[in-house]
Amino acid sequence: MINTLKNYTYEELQEWAVQEGLKPYVGRQIFEWIFAKAVNNTDEMLNISKTVRALIDAHGSLDVLELSKHEISDEDASEKFLFTCHDGHSIETVLLHSGNHFTLCLSSEVGCAMGCVFCKTGEMGLLRKLETAEILEQFIQVQRISNQKISNIVFMGMGEPFNNYEAVIKAAEILNHHKGPNIGARHITLSTSGIVPRIKEFAHLPFQFKLAVSLNSADNNKRNELMPVNRRYPLQELLAAASYYTHVTNKLIFFEYVLLKGINDGPKDAYNLLEKLNRIPCKLNVIPYNETDTKFGRPEEEHIKKFVSYFKEASFPVTLRYSGGRGIKAACGQLYHENLKK
């Protein structure tokens, strides 16, 4: 585990201060410097004494990640950041621009263990899970570099957030904290490929975070082939967990559907999806496949719009969502890096 105060919540930093013989308010001050003001150098903590600054430095560096590369798309101004971790592993983070709104797509793991066959990140396998500090540092550095107010957070980068549940929830809580980055809970979305027990656990959190489920097929056999997680948590169990979530929280659940040419883009696929989701309070995002070097293709534009037209009578809203950053391999399913450690 990395020795850094960036792994600590608001309450934990107050406890740390008391353990060091300080008043709790000092922990609160440190929290604001680290997470609200994005300071990495204790010399900038102007209302903190030199003695306390030395204690902070002794507890470990506040520089958790090193920026290795920063790319900006000529097409839509999307930005991709390559960060190197303390152990030599690398992760990618994406900042998406939409008018005056800026959405940050965070990674939760180095690589991914889920093995979804259309996702480039899955080819990396799982190298390790990120610590809370490493997740938060992506936000802190991008906020500083871009000099823009990030309005939305999506945990849709590298990794399966629900396989690193504790660290991800802790990071989301800190991002939401009113003394920290103060990102509204309803502007923070966690995504999962379908880890059923965690969906049920997530339903009982005392936060208003949103939940997105990567579905990609309403046919059990087809989903088995596309997403190995379905063999452990079959479609019936996943949809039951989704219904449970909406019942407990009284909130919509978001389903993500990556449209693959000749695989899941036919009328039968659409009607099967319509029949399954009509029973659940939800929203469906249809995402045309972002091509990598896999065997899959992206449907033609006319075919994409035809697929969406099958949902005219749906009881739930359907959005055709085009991913930003395709030109710099920063779009949904494209994140990948040849890590130094294997």
Catalytic residue positions? 92, 332
- The H or E element that residue 133 is part of is helix 132-146
Residue listed under structure tokens 């990120």: 130
Beta bridge partners of 103: 96, 152
CA distance 299 to 43: 54
What tokens does 31 get? 């929290």
- Closest C-alpha among 198, 190, 278, 315 to residue 245: 198
The answer to whether 171 and 179 are in contact (CB under 8 A) is no
DSSP string, 59-91: T--S---EEEEEEE-TTT--EEEEEE-TTS-EE
CA distance 60 to 5: 7
| Alpha-carbon separation of residue 74 from 82, 230, 327 (angstroms) | 18, 37, 8
CA distance 269 to 275: 10
CA distance 230 to 236: 10
The answer to whether 250 and 137 are in contact (CB under 8 A) is no
What tokens does 160 get? 């399966």
Residue listed under structure tokens 């798309």: 73
Give the number of other CB atoms < 10 A from CB of residue 136: 27
- The H or E element that residue 12 is part of is helix 10-19
CA distance 75 to 64: 31
